[in-house]
Structure 1
């Protein structure tokens, strides 16, 4: 198992709340099979494995969403810790919010029943939960100077790319594209052994092959979009040929 330090600074009150929620959920689920996913996953991986080519995907006053992939019923864990279940997969405690995600059985976004409740289901989570995580010993200095310390388990960079490819393929959100760009630069900038391995460029079956094929389609669609969308087009530096990525250090 890979263990890495991730030391960062919160820059807004909104991020303070997001980091407090993240610290909560990491402690509450410390003995369960979970992974931090979504924007926090990419943010933490970039903190642990920095790259100069990273592209920001949010404004300073927008909180990073706190999302957790689960393989079991975490509802009672959260409610016992003082979180209240909201509509869908969201739980709140005061101003803190946590979203729970479960693996999709269809390879697309949808809803799955777990423990009698409906949860948002996302593609790619099953392989991330089955593989060993990267454990990030996280230290966050909040805006009031307080330092939060917690252990966060995230997917390997390869499986983070699998998750984000599924997300972009399903909903075509620019934030997922930017996350893919940033994750790919981590692969380019750090040795495979440090980031959990890399086999996506030699995929022959399963989720890796599905991801590789999807990324070829993403690259083609972005090339067409860049000539079609004018001011709305994605910056050319995001057009990374992901199936051919290999560490060049």
Structure 2
């Protein structure tokens, strides 16, 4: 294994261990705050904690067994590095992450009486389920156009969430505005990254495959192929395009998931108004 790959893999593993410890600390902190939160708020944040566990665990798994889905490249020679396993773990984790946001948006929309927030909350999980379907199409057929659609839907979902947060902003007190400000900044940074880096990357891969006359797999062929072990590669040239998004995804996105567990009780910081 080359030094650059070893350092990167070590970084992913170290961050994953930190994330697991941070989640455990969050669980302990939530239990200590249960009385102060009250039964309803505690139950809502406990659900957030459980959803976060799936996301934190899923990202830790994918950090230990990195996988480059379409070309079937992995770092570790094990059945755990097959596309069928890696994509299944990713699907569960990402749907749980989407559910975290949907639940918080729904809670915020109820507190503020916001129709925009309510519609956004109800749309998030179905949109991400559609994105996951596109991801499965991409990894089974090896056609990157599926990843273009997946990344575009994720971007749209984040943009909708930011729009709803901005609409609710005037009804929040100073403390909650600080929280919403962080959420909006993270959302806008994510949309910018996806629009400027991720979507163009997959689009260029799709165009290159089309120009080369690549033969894609059928869904049935892809399903069989996805159960086979991937080609093990420890070459930086095979991984360098994946390093940035994986590093950010398995660190900053996980920290955000854990942080959502500690969101203040939203109803205490919102002035309810006519629904809009």
The verdict on a shared fold, with TM-score over 0.5 as the criterion, is no
> Which TM-score bucket, shorter chain as reference?
under 0.3
Which structure features the higher share of strand residues? 1
TM-score by length of 1: 0.26
Greater C-alpha radius of gyration: 2
Which structure features the higher share of helix residues? 2
